[in-house]
Structure 1
C-alpha cells in the first residue's frame, strides 16, 4: 500500500488497551518494602475550577473522512462521518466544521461508537440527523459486536441512542461504501439499513426497533466474519422516488449486495429490486463485465436514472478495473449503458450527479490513486459522453489530495462546488467548470488524528509539547493554532512515544515506525526539533516490536533508556551508537503488546522509575522498579508489591513524576490512583476512584486510567495541579486536585467526553491547561 494519511491503521494500536476498558512532597528514600496505606482523597470539594474552554490543537484533517452527506433540501447543510473520530456538521457561515459527537452518549466505555458507518438525514426536517455507529463487527473475543443508532432532533446538539440487532464496522474495510442508512423520502420514519453481516434491515419507528427484510435471513457467525475478513455485506439501498414528504410509503427500491455476503447467503446477483417496500426481492441482471463486482456508490437522478459504480475489488483504495454504468431504473427500461471505465491502477470509488440526461454533470472519484498527476477526479458535463480530469495536475492549496478518493459530492446548491475525501481529510473546488480548477483544504476544526503519547516540557521551553501520533508521526508543536512543521519525518508513519530532557528541553528523543518500510525509527533532536538524526542502532526488541505500548526517556544528553513493547528495556550512553540491556525482567505477556512505563525523576535524573501494569486484566499484578544509577540497573519496589496494583492494559494505566519534588510519583492502575513520596518505596492508595463494571469488558468504565501534572495554582498547598481521567461517585470524567489529592472536583463536563480520553499531559506555563486526546479527535487543550 502506498502512503496516505489514514487514521484507521493506528486504531488497533491505540485501542489495544482501551477497548478492554473504555474503548477508554518529600525528598529521596530507599526501598523499604513498606505496605500500602490508605489516604482520604474521597472528599469532592475545592479540587479546582472547571475548564472554561476546549479548543482543538491545529493539525487539520489527518484521518479518514469516509463520507460526506448534503441535506437534500436545505442549501449548505452538510455532515461528514469518520472511521474513528465521530461526525461533524459543516458551518457554512464561517467555513469550519462543528464536531457533534463529543458529548453525552460518547463517553468512556463507548469509544467504539465514535466509528460512524453511515449518516441519514430527514429530507422533511433539516433538524433531524441519524448516525449508525460501531467500529468493528467483532469484539475482542471474536464474537459479533452490535452497533448503535444515534438520533438527534437539533442537528447533533443532543442525542438519543438505540441498540441495533446487527454488527457495525465503521473502521473496517469498505467503510466509505454507501450510504448504508437510508430514510424513505416520503415517509422518513421508515428507514432501511444495509448491514455488513446480517442482511438488510427495516425500521418503521425512526430506528427504535428493527426487523430483517426478505432480502436474506443469513446472519454471519463470528467464525464466518473472521474467515471472510472485512465483510462488505449489503452495501446500500436506493429508493425509486424523488418526492419529499407526504407520508406515503415508497414501494420500489434497489439494494446492492457485495459478493462476499452474496456467496454465503446464496444470492445470485449484486443488485436486487423490491416493489413492495422491502418485503420481497428479485435479482436484477447486471452487465456480464461487472458480474461479481462491488458497488461502492450509486445515485438516482430526478428522471429515474441510476448511476452505478462497479469495482472489481472492495474497500478503500481498492484497485480496478472499475466501471460506471447508467441504469434506466423504470419498469420496462431496465437497460444498462456504460459511461466510463478504468482498467489499470486504482478503481472507482464515489460518484455524484446533478442534472439529468445528456446535460447531467457527473463527478467520478478514482480511488487507489498514488500520484498527484491523476487521474483523481473525472468530470463529465454531457451525461458521461466525454470526460476530463479536474484534480490531478491542478493547483492545490494544502497537502496530499490523492489516495483514497472513495466519496465525492457535488453541492446540490452550486454545481461548481465539488468536495471529495482522501485518507487525510477533505478537498474542495469552487470552480469545477474551469479548465484548470483550483482546490483548497477545508478542514478547519476537523481534527481526526490519533495521539499515542504526549510529553510537555518545563516552563519557558521554545515549544508547547511533543505529539507522537498514529499515521502522521512525531511533531513538535510550537503554535497551537498552526499545523506543526518540526518532525523527524513527513513520511506516513506512527510516532509511538517521546521524551524531553528536563534540564535542557531542546534535547528530544523519540521512536516510531515507518509504515511504508515497516522499519522502526529511533530519533533525537538537539535543537528543539529544528533538525533530527536517527539513532545509529536500535536496542534489542525495537526492530520487531512496533507497538506504542512502550516508552523512551532521557536522563541527560546522549543518555537514553528505551523500553520497546514486549522487550527488556535497554540504555545507551552514546546517543544510540550502542545499547546495553537493563536488568529489568521482560514485561508481562498477556497475549497482546505490553511494555514498561518509564519516567525520569526530574529533580534527580539518576532516578528512573519503571512500571509494568500487567498488560491485561487477567495478567499479573502491576509492579514498579526503581533505578538510582540513571536507568542502568533497577530494583523491585516491594512497596508496589504490597500495594497489590490491579493488572490492566498498558493504555489504561500511567505513571508520572512531580518535577518539583524528588521522589514524588503518581500512578494509575486502571482502577484507582496511587502516590509515593519516597521514590517508590511505599505507596498510598487514594480513595474515591473506582471502576464501573459493564455488560462486557469492552464497556467497563475505568476508575483511573490516566494521570497528568501541570502548573500549580498560585498559593496552592501542593506544587503541581493533578488531573485524573477516571470515575468518582459513579461519574466518569476528568478530575482535578490542587491539594495533592486530598480533594477533587470535576474538570470537564458532559458535553466534552470525546468517546473516552486516551493520553493527557499538563502544561507547565499555564495553570488549568491540559492537553488530551479524544477517540480519533486529535488533541484538545483547555483553559
Structure 2
C-alpha cells in the first residue's frame, strides 16, 4: 500500500555508464533498484527470509562498471564485536542473490549509516574488493568476495565489545575506500587507493591520520596529511580528471550539525572550497572536470525551508562560487539528513538526495529555480508496529500503526491514506475498533522527540474523519510508550489500555477517567519491554482476553492468559493456559487473536507453536504443525526462526467447514512462511513463496471483506497486502 518513502534512505549508487541504473540502500528496509520505465523503485530484497531479518539493514552497495548486471551489497543491522555481516552478490541486478558470511559486523542502522560507500571494487580488476568495516579495520577479497583477509598492513586491530561500548555502541571504523583510476577493465590491478578512517578507529588502532594511501594495491599504507584532523570523512569523490573532492564534518550523522569543510585534493595540495561552522556536510557528488566541474554539496543538520537556508549547494565552476538550489524552490523540499547527494552521471540536471523520509530530486538543476519532487514511488520503508481490521462493511479497510509516521486509517489501498490523528511527528503503537459500531476507533502511541513522557491516546467517533485526544491517560500511559503498548475497544467510549511495563487500565467514559484492572504488574526484562496483549471478543465484548508472553525467552516465566467477563475490569488466570506450558518469549514474537465470528474461539502463538481454545481461554490445544527452526542451538535458547509468531483470522472461504480463514506466520517442516487454514487448523498450506518473504513480517491482519486478503508489516517494508 502507498505511503511513499517513510524511512531513511542511507545511500544512492548509480552505475557510472549505464543510464538510469540506480540503487538505493536503506537502514532497515532492504535495498531497491530504479525502474525507469515505470518511474518507480523495485524492491530487490523481498526474497530475504525470516532468518535474514538482521540483514535488512544494508550498509553499502558496489557496482561493477564493466558489467551492469553485477551488484554487491554488505548487510547487517547493528555493529558488534561478533562476525554478523554478510556480502550478497547478484549477477542479475538484484533479482536473485547469493551470500557469504563476513568476518566482521556491519551497522546498517547504526549512527553514521549515511557514510560511504564502504564497499568498493577495483574497476580494472573487479574480482578485487575492499571493505572498510566499523570495528575490525580494512578487509580485502581477491575472489569476488568469497574469501576475505584483514589488511593488517594498515591495522590488525579488532575492536572489543568494551571498546565499541566506549564509543556509544556506534563504531565508525574505516569509513570508505576510493580508487585513484580513470580506467576500467584492463585486467591489471589498480595500484593506488585511499581509505578514510574515523576518529574512533584512529584512536584505538594508534593511527596518525584520518586518511591513508596505498600505492601498491593495499600491500602497504602511508598516512596522508589532511587540513582537518579529528573529523569524519563521509564522502570522497574522484572526478574524471583525477581531482579528489573530500568532505570533512565533525560528527558521524545522520544529519551532523557540523562544523564542516569541503576541500579539493590533487594528491598533494588541499584547496578549501566551502566551509560551514553551523551545519554539517553530508552528501557530495561531482560531474565533469576542470574549471567547469559541477559539484553538488549536501548540507546536513539544518531544518526548514526559508530564505538563506542551505540544503543543497551547487557549483558550476569547480567550487569557486555556490548557489542554493533547493531551499525556497518550487515543489517538495527535504532538509536535515542530507547525507548523500548524487548527480546523475547520464544527466547533469538530475540531482537526487536522501533524507529521513526517502528521496527527493530535481530534473532541472541548471534552472534558476529548480523544481523538486519526491522520488519514492514503490519505495516503502515505514516500520509497521500494529495492524487491525474492522468488521465487513466498515467505512475504512485497515488501522495502521507505524513507527515515526503514526496511526493511519486506510480507505483506498491504491492511494496514500489521509486520515490520521497526528498533528506532529509520532509513532502509532496500537489501534482498535468497536465491532458493533465501527466508526468508533481508539488509538495509542507516542509523540516523538518529547523524551520519555510522550505517550498519548486518541479517539474518533466518525471513522477517523475527526479526532480528539483522551482527556486523561492511565497509569503508565504517559511514560511507558514502547511498541508493546496496546489497546482493546469493547464498545463505544469503552476500552482497555495496556501500557508497556504497567498494569492495564480501563475506561467507560471515553478516557475521562481510567481505572486499574486487577492484572499483575509487568516489568521489562533486561531492557526488553513487556505488556499484555489485549483482545476483545467480537461476539461478546464483555469478554476480554489478556496474554502475558513471559517477556523474554530467558525469563523462566511461561506465558499466561487471563480472562475477563466484565468488559476488562477484572481478570481471572486461565489455569488451562498454565497447563499448556506456553513458551516464554518477547512481546513482538507472540500473538493472540479471536475468531470474530464465534464467541470464545481464540488462537494464540507463543513464538514456537500455535494453540487453539474454543471455551474462552479456559483450555488450550496445541497444534503439532508449527515448530521453530533452531539452527543447531539448544531449545533452551532462541531459535533462528520462530515457529509461530503472528496469528490473524479473516473472512472464510465460501463453503469452508470453519467460520474463518486462519493465517499464521511461522514454520512447518522447517519451511518458514505465511500459512493458511480453511478448516480450523486441521490442514495448512503455505500462502506466500520464497520471492515474497520480506525478511519475516512481524505483524499481520486479515481482511473481513475479502477472502484471501491479508495485510503484512513489521519488516520495515511498509504495509503489503495480498489479493
Q: TM-score, normalised by structure 2?
A: 0.97
Q: Deviations over 1:432-451 (max 9, x none)?
A: 00000001111111000000
CA contact (8 A) 2:630 2:638 kept: no
Structure 1 residues 378, 698: closer, same or farther in 2, change over 3 A?
farther
| Cα deviation, residue 530, structure 1 | 1.0
| 3-state SS of 1:225 partner | helix
Match of 1:677 among 611, 614, 624: 614
Structure 1 residues 695, 233: closer, same or farther in 2, change over 3 A?
farther
Alignment of 1:145-184 (within 5 A): 145-184=83-122
Matched with 1:343 is: 277
Matched with 1:117 is: 59
Q: Deviations over 1:38-96 (max 9, x none)?
A: xxxxxxxxxxxxxxxxxxx1000000000000001111100000000000000011100
1:193 equivalent to 2:131? Answer yes
Aligned partners of 2:166 and 2:205: how far apart in 1?
A: 15
CA contact (8 A) 1:127 1:152 kept: yes
Structure 1 residues 130, 723: closer, same or farther in 2, change over 3 A?
same
| Cα deviation, residue 588, structure 1 | 5.8
1:659 equivalent to 2:603? Answer no
Matched with 1:497 is: 430
CA contact (8 A) 2:440 2:459 kept: yes
Match of 2:198 among 248, 258, 263: 258
Alignment of 1:699-710 (within 5 A): 700-710=640-650
Alignment of 1:33-44 (within 5 A): none
Aligned partners of 2:679 and 2:6: how far apart in 1?
A: 38
Match of 2:551 among 615, 629, 633: 615
CA contact (8 A) 2:702 2:710 kept: yes
Match of 1:723 among 637, 650, 663: 663
| Cα deviation, residue 210, structure 1 | 0.5
Q: Unpaired runs of 5+ in structure 1?
A: 1-56
| 3-state SS of 2:163 partner | helix
Aligned partners of 1:683 and 1:234: how far apart in 2?
A: 54
CA contact (8 A) 1:755 1:774 kept: no
Q: Deviations over 1:229-282 (max 9, x none)?
A: 211111101101010102100001111111111011111111111001011111
CA contact (8 A) 1:117 1:134 kept: yes
Aligned partners of 1:755 and 1:678: how far apart in 2?
A: 35
Higher relative contact order (CA 8 A, sep 6+): 1
Q: TM-score, normalised by structure 1?
A: 0.90
| 3-state SS of 2:698 partner | strand
| Cα deviation, residue 366, structure 1 | 0.5
Aligned partners of 1:144 and 1:496: how far apart in 2?
A: 32
Matched with 2:251 is: 313
Q: Deviations over 1:644-671 (max 9, x none)?
A: 1111111110000011110000000111
Alignment of 1:564-713 (within 5 A): 564-587=499-522, 589-591=524-526, 592-619=528-555, 620-694=557-631, 700-713=640-653
| Cα deviation, residue 109, structure 1 | 2.3
Aligned partners of 1:722 and 1:588: how far apart in 2?
A: 32
Alignment of 1:250-289 (within 5 A): 250-287=190-227
Q: Unpaired runs of 5+ in structure 2?
A: none
Matched with 1:75 is: 19
Alignment of 1:114-513 (within 5 A): 114-138=56-80, 143-213=81-151, 214-229=153-168, 230-287=170-227, 290-329=228-267, 334-344=268-278, 346-373=279-306, 374-397=309-332, 401-513=334-446
Aligned partners of 1:183 and 1:463: how far apart in 2?
A: 50
| 3-state SS of 2:13 partner | strand
Match of 2:712 among 758, 772, 780: 772
| Cα deviation, residue 698, structure 1 | 6.4
CA contact (8 A) 1:588 1:612 kept: no
| 3-state SS of 1:243 partner | coil
Aligned partners of 2:85 and 2:524: how far apart in 1?
A: 31
Aligned partners of 2:239 and 2:123: how far apart in 1?
A: 14
CA contact (8 A) 2:17 2:346 kept: no
Q: Deviations over 1:429-470 (max 9, x none)?
A: 010000000011111110000000011001111111111100
Structure 1 residues 698, 436: closer, same or farther in 2, change over 3 A?
farther
RMSD (Å) for aligned C-alpha atoms: 1.1
Matched with 2:45 is: 101
Matched with 1:14 is: none
Aligned partners of 2:393 and 2:89: how far apart in 1?
A: 46
Aligned partners of 1:177 and 1:370: how far apart in 2?
A: 20
| Cα deviation, residue 541, structure 1 | 1.2
| Cα deviation, residue 516, structure 1 | 2.4
| 3-state SS of 2:50 partner | coil
